[in-house]
């Protein structure tokens, strides 16, 4: 909750993430908060956005019911295309998908995500579920938006394992290794929003959420963060945005944990 208890951090994330979706774009949606962000963007500034799901679905209308997974029956009925995974991945690899949205367990200063192994690969402290389609989305989408719980243990100088590539070691790393997608453009967290330096490709704090201080963001980040010269407070979700989010997640399953 923010200071006044008017909205939760998750609701703010959904609103901030939705603003990254442009009208008419093909968006690799994912689940949970990104799915709600897609639905919100559709009902506000991006009515012509189209959602892709790696199980083999394409939709231009958010499902009429809350989804627990992308393959739930309400997501299939009324889809634009219900097909094979490889057909959806084909659009991604040919460069037709402008935006992908991902979360992760760990992230580093160059936007690399780890959802595989914490500790060593041979004897990990925690075996996380793995890539799913995340590494493909991070490799191939035109732009990548990252949504994260902001905690120091998750925001590390270097991730233990690169599952989903951001900018690798920074600079022109993506071009050097041959990745076709554009890489991350923003990290929306529970505390603020980062953009990326155009040259070094390092994450730069662009805004902090209402009620959050710069000190708090520094405390919860495992590297010495750079701050934008135009650092500002994140605009809070509007009444309209909150009404739509609460309509889509009526019991707060994803947004009021």
Partner 1 sequence: MVMGKVVTMAQAIERFVPSGCSVLMGAALESLIPFAAGHEIIRQRRRDLTLIGPISDILFDQLIGAGCVSRVIAAWIGNVSVGLAHNYRRAVEAHSPDRLIVEDHSNFTIALGLLAGGLGAPFIPTRSLLGTDLLVGNLSLRRSADPDTGAPLVFVRAINPDIAILHVQRSDDEGNAHCWGNLGVSEEGGLASRGVVLVAEELVSRDVILSDPNRVLLPSSKVVAVVNEPWGAHPSPTQGCYGRDHEFYRAYHEASRTQEGFQRWLKAWVLDVQTRTAYLTRLGEERLKQLKPSRRLMAAPVDYGY
Any idea which residues carry the catalytic annotation?
54
**Minimum distance between the CB of residue 182 and partner 1, rounded to whole angstroms?**
13
CB 134 within 8 A of CB 113: yes
53 vs 208, beta carbon nearer partner 1:
53
Give the nearest distance from C-beta 164 to partner 1 in angstroms: 7
Burial class (CB in 10 A: 0-12, 13-18, 19+), 214: middle
Instruction: Give backbone dihedrals phi and psi of 106, rounded to 5 degrees, phi first.
Output: -135, 150
Say if CB 190 and CB 161 are below 8 A apart.
Answer: no
Integer CA distances (angstroms), 198 to 3, 40, 176, 204, 229, in order: 34, 29, 16, 10, 14
The footprint of partner 1 (CB under 8 A) covers 31, 53-57, 68-73, 76-77, 82-86, 89, 92-93, 116, 121, 123-136, 139-140, 161-165, 168, 173-174, 177-180
Shortest Å, Cβ 162 to partner 1? 5
Nearer to partner 1, 21 or 89 (CB): 89
Strand order, beta sheet including 106-108: 113-114, 106-108, 155-156
CB of 74 to partner 1, least distance (A): 8
The residue (of 45 and 84) whose beta carbon lies closer to partner 1 is 84
Phi, psi dihedral angles at 81 (to 5 degrees): -155, 130
């Amino acid at each position: 909750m923010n200071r006044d208890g008017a909205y939760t951090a998750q609701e703010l994330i959904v609103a901030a993430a939705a603003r990254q979706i442009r009208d008419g774009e093909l968006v690799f949606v994912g689940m949970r908060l990104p799915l709600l962000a897609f639905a919100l963007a559709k009902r506000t500034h991006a009515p012509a956005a189209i959602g892709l799901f790696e199980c083999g679905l394409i939709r231009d209308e958010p499902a009429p019911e809350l989804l627990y997974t992308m393959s739930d029956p309400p997501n299939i009925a009324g889809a634009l295309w219900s097909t094979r995974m490889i057909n959806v991945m084909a659009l991604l690899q040919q460069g037709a998908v402008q935006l992908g949205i991902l979360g992760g367990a760990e992230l580093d200063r160059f936007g690399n995500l780890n959802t595989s192994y914490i500790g060593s690969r041979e004897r990990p402290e925690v075996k996380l579920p793995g890539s799913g389609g995340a590494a493909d989305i991070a490799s191939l989408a035109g732009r990548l938006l990252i949504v994260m719980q902001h905690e120091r243990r998750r925001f590390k100088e270097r991730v233990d394992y690169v599952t989903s590539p951001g900018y690798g070691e920074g600079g022109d790393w993506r071009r050097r290794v041959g990745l076709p997608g554009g890489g991350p453009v923003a990290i929306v967290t529970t505390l603020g929003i980062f953009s990326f330096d155009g040259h070094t490709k390092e994450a730069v704090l662009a805004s902090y959420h209402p009620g959050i201080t710069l000190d708090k963001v520094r405390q919860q980040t495992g590297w010495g963060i750079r701050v934008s010269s135009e650092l500002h407070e994140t605009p809070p979700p509007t009444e309209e945005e909150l009404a739509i989010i609460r309509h889509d997640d009526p019991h707060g399953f994803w947004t009021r944990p």
